[in-house]
Amino acid sequence: QQDYRLISIPIQIDDGKKSAKDILFSSLEVNDYDQTIWRCADYHHYSETDSFIYLNSADFSPFEPGKAFFLLATEKFSGKYIQSKSGFTNPTNYTFKIPLQKGWNLIGNPYDFSIPIENTSINNGLPEVWEYTGQWINYATNIEPWQGYAIYVENNDTFRIKPDLRYPYFESGLAKSVNSNQFEWFIKINASCQNAQNNENIAAVAEKASRGFDNFDKPEPPPIGQYVMMTFPHPEWNKVFDYFTVDVQAPNVDGNFWDFNVYTNIKNGKVTLDFTNLDVVPQEYNIKLIANKLTRPVNLRKKNKISYVSNNEAGYEKFRLLVGSSEFVNENDNSFVPSEFCFYPNFPNPFNNSTNICFDVPEQIEGDICIFNVTGSQVKTIANNKLFEPGKIILTWDGTNDQNFTVSSGIYFCKIITRKYSNTIKMVLIR
């Protein structure tokens, strides 16, 4: 739950010797890929909770300078080092460029010395670089050799590294974590389940924030292994990914509220949510947490930590954090009931392995959700006469048909049918 680490190799490996399998087999002194004692994962850019492929996949990338992978190894491999068979150091007399695809990218330092973040850039300025230490930490101030990092971009981009440390792109000290000074106030939400941690979540208010997405809002990095993940879902923002770890709103004199989900793949694990920094919230405001999982609303000023058992078949629980006057809190504590039906575009789209299907339901109602191909033939039944409770519903299609066989690349259509509402969305599957 905390044992994965990001690795990279800071040299240009000789052609024909870049195979990740060959390098890792040699470094770990093993003859086969035994996932019970070690694993290596490569990130692909299609979804958030199912976006990794493993070393036994034919699509696994080779070791290249600037490329990072997740590695997990048991104590059996204590003292082992990742070593390339042969190669040469990358020249330091020119800028090293790493192509970035829109969404999350795992990158490494191509040099065998530390690079300050100020010596790196992307098209719109200083990159926000995340490091992984058993959980995601924002932001790294240096990129170290042999380690790996994550970068998010909204569009295809280029990560530039200037190895001449005398001439940085930006002045020193610009790289730092989320700056609380830019907020009127904020609440930090730490999630844990057994040893899994997710502690970079912030609900905040800032005078310069907009009602929708802006540069204050930060996307959630992809989880790996056994995880817990607290996110603010915003499919209506139509960004590359719809899960956010920082959600900043403009101030409302009466109050603000945040809907968030907590995901975990640890079955029957005890999930704990710890709300901190509550003392900076204006004292005249109530702070309340509501959820279907909770038997009654929680006054977070009196009790700032709650726990529950993760036994939801959907894999997540929905919460609402309310901060405001008594009247505002009472008006908005009716859980998560939308005012009308809405069928959002699936996310991600295009997708590779799986995609999320999201829609709003304003009342309890039965419905069908089915997948069709371009010929109109039904491929998959996602829900059959299923009773949906009021709220925002998120379901997943794993790219299989009703016989659980993987379907081919192409255009598919998802249709929702209820007695009061029906709609269809177009989805693109890329293998």
Which residue among 284, 300, 331 closes a domain?
A: 331
Asked if residue 311 and residue 200 are part of one domain, the reply reads yes
CATH at residue 346: 2.60.40.1930
Residue 336 lies in a domain: no
| Nearest of 139, 127, 183, 146 to residue 71 by alpha carbon | 146
Angle at 146 between CA 140 and CA 148, to 5 degrees: 45
Specify the pLDDT at position 174.
55
Asked if residue 394 and residue 303 are part of one domain, the reply reads no
Asked if residue 247 and residue 113 are part of one domain, the reply reads no
Residue 209 lies in a domain: yes
Specify the pLDDT at position 47.
46
Residue 337 lies in a domain: no
Asked if residue 130 and residue 275 are part of one domain, the reply reads no
Q: What range defines the domain where residue 382 resides? A: 342-429
Per-residue pLDDT of the chain (431 residues; tens, 9 = 90+): 568 889 998 888 887 677 888 888 888 888 888 888 888 989 876 544 457 888 888 888 888 899 999 998 877 778 777 777 677 888 899 899 999 998 899 999 999 999 999 999 999 888 889 999 888 988 788 999 999 999 999 899 999 999 988 878 776 655 555 556 789 999 999 999 999 999 989 999 999 998 889 989 999 998 888 899 999 999 889 888 889 999 999 999 999 999 999 999 888 889 999 999 999 999 999 999 998 677 678 999 999 999 988 876 557 888 999 999 999 988 887 655 677 899 988 888 888 888 889 888 888 899 999 999 999 999 999 999 999 877 778 888 999 999 999 999 999 999 999 999 999 999 999 98
- Residue count (the chain): 431
Residue 318 lies in a domain: yes
Asked if residue 325 and residue 222 are part of one domain, the reply reads yes
- H helices of 325-424, where? 326-331
Asked if residue 102 and residue 90 are part of one domain, the reply reads yes
Which residue among 278, 302, 331 closes a domain?
A: 331
Which residue among 275, 310, 331 closes a domain?
A: 331
Specify the pLDDT at position 48.
47
What is the spatial distance between Cα 397 and Cα 369, in angstroms, rounded to a whole number? 10
What is the spatial distance between Cα 252 and Cα 241, in angstroms, rounded to a whole number? 27
Specify the pLDDT at position 286.
96
Asked if residue 83 and residue 45 are part of one domain, the reply reads yes
R_g (Cα) of the chain, nearest Å: 23
Strands 185-193 and 196-205: antiparallel
Asked if residue 167 and residue 186 are part of one domain, the reply reads no
Specify the pLDDT at position 55.
86
Asked if residue 360 and residue 277 are part of one domain, the reply reads no
| Nearest of 227, 325, 339, 343 to residue 285 by alpha carbon | 325
Asked if residue 253 and residue 267 are part of one domain, the reply reads yes
Asked if residue 157 and residue 188 are part of one domain, the reply reads no
Digit-coded pLDDT (tens) for 330-384: 888 765 567 789 998 888 888 888 888 988 888 889 999 999 999 999 999 999 9
Q: Which residues contact 296 (CB under 8 A, 6 or more apart)?
A: none
Strands 196-205 and 96-100: unpaired
Specify the pLDDT at position 24.
86
Specify the pLDDT at position 390.
78
Asked if residue 38 and residue 3 are part of one domain, the reply reads yes
Q: What is the dihedral of CA 6, 7, 12, 16, to 10 degrees?
A: -100
The number of distinct structural domains making up the chain is 3
